[in-house]
Structure 1
């Protein structure tokens, strides 16, 4: 499927954390067929700067999320340019005026899609990678009676202080470009977007990835070739305000902020009743295995499985074939429980 091949769920006037947006929209895609008794639905929300097509490495016949058996729903994150975002929302809520959005806002909208549009009351699995994992945790806390199983891939229940430092680096790379013009740029802030891509390249992959020159093994002659011809083009056409909106959401992710928990992340983790598996990547610089080990230690029925390899955070996106096979197998085991 292409990024333009998706469906829209109309939310009407939707209250985000930062204010209400009229005619808000949730973009999503589905794979497979919903069973007559609606018992085979899997929810798979997207990650930072990704869309539903970036989830497809785990979806399809013969894969863990087998579409001959399951009905997979992939809702797009607010701010990613398909769901309501700074780039596609009319004034006066456009650009930098788009309200701040939380992970809980995303999950609240997704719950409406699942219940109002599809009439689904039970989910055999909620799964997500990176920011998708944050949404997965939020689902398990907000709707425990709906979520039977959850899988967190290269993500966490809350954004750590070290992760926030990284996110501020991305934010300043974009906004330091004079062309950014406080978010009202007539042309994209290209220098800022290039800097953004370079910062991200240093964090998304591990030191070992670069030390072993894996970029050469995947077809790039030099390190600069890898950065210039892979990383920079990825974000060259991205909307800076969209990226900043998603950064804000990521930075403020914490299931402890769910109403009723008063900021107590440990209590929120303890309230999760779903059978859970946490799949951090061995050398992830964003969400190291120690973060998920801490979370699993506070959950009722959770298992920590560290994904081996040197691809760092990108292990959770299917970039590394060995890591992808490892994650696929772990999900099969979880679904068999």
Structure 2
């Protein structure tokens, strides 16, 4: 995957086409039958997709879990299992497809609960079934690290409070311990637009969503990208080329709903200080100061309440800053994993 391909995919938060990764292992599935969700609802045909890279060492101490970002698949994350980021010569890397991503059980592929019949789920539900995969199917009782980007970072932090001590370190990259007000407005609006599109099958909601994705860039980046172009024509062009079949739309709605309800402080009286005090493992928190997709404030606050290593990027690329400054990102991640 080229740098420009990665940059484009992150800027759109993986809501449009992502070029295939350079390398990928075999797509595998773990079947858990029916999974009980935190709401009490039953998730039928609960199959979870994953890929592995590298070799598990004799004492099973070198495993790293990577949960997928919003709409992303394990195949699209395969570039992380390269020596530049996480070296498969040293680590056993497990990339897990999050519930609702179209690979694991999702509205688009469920035979028994298709489309809108698919129950709402939470980030905690994603983490719970990942824990079952790691322990029941792979026989691993502790992880060297959990590394996540964007929605994957939310899963990493949820792991830290839901299964304390299961991993020795957690990396949150352009993620958050809970959504800021800006993020809630952003994602709730996207859900309304996707629901509107399902109902009307018309262009207007697609055009608004295309414009919102463009607004995910920083103002400077947006101006540089579209200077001299007919912006409204560009919006219409992007909306026209957008492919949003019902199954994919419901996948995005359900994962966005999971992010909206996500909050690691919920079990700590909504107190970030209490949540921070419950995390005793090593933390790496990477944020972008100009992020307009996942606001950096809550993650920065968590870092300053803990002994976390905090890296604040400011390359003008917003949510894509880790790819605009790939060397800094890579070095920070490798140093953290080697500590």
* Aligned counterpart, 1:41: 63
Q: Distance in 2 between matches of 1:133 and 1:4?
A: 22
Q: Distance in 2 between matches of 1:310 and 1:206?
A: 7
Q: Does 1:251 align with 2:273?
A: no
Q: Per the alignment, in what secondary structure is the counterpart of residue 33 of structure 2?
A: strand
Q: TM-score, normalised by structure 2?
A: 0.84
Question: Cα 1:45–1:294, aligned 2, differ >3 Å: closer, same or farther?
Answer: same
* Aligned counterpart, 1:198: 211
Aligned length: 316
CA contact (8 A) 2:179 2:298 kept: no
* Aligned counterpart, 2:16: none
Instruction: Map 1:210-225 onto structure 2 (within 5 A).
Output: 210-213=222-225
CA contact (8 A) 1:296 1:304 kept: yes
Cα distance, 1:229 vs. partner?
Answer: 6.6
* Aligned counterpart, 1:277: 284
Q: Does 1:132 align with 2:152?
A: yes
Q: Does 1:110 align with 2:130?
A: yes
Of stretches 143-152 and 103-112 in structure 1, the one that deviates more from structure 2 is: 143-152
Question: Cα 1:32–1:331, aligned 2, differ >3 Å: closer, same or farther?
Answer: same
Which sections of structure 2, spanning at least 5 residues, go unmatched?
A: 1-19
Cα distance, 1:10 vs. partner?
Answer: 0.8
Question: Cα 1:314–1:39, aligned 2, differ >3 Å: closer, same or farther?
Answer: same
* Aligned counterpart, 1:146: 166
* Aligned counterpart, 1:29: 51
CA contact (8 A) 1:208 1:310 kept: yes
Q: Does 1:268 align with 2:281?
A: no
Which sections of structure 1, spanning at least 5 residues, go unmatched?
A: none
Q: Distance in 2 between matches of 1:226 and 1:268?
A: 44
Pairwise CA RMSD of aligned residues? 2.6
CA contact (8 A) 2:218 2:317 kept: yes
Question: Cα 1:233–1:67, aligned 2, differ >3 Å: closer, same or farther?
Answer: farther
Residue of structure 1 aligned with 2:182, choices 154, 157, 162: 162
CA contact (8 A) 1:17 1:99 kept: no
* Aligned counterpart, 2:72: 50
Q: Per the alignment, in what secondary structure is the counterpart of residue 9 of structure 1?
A: strand
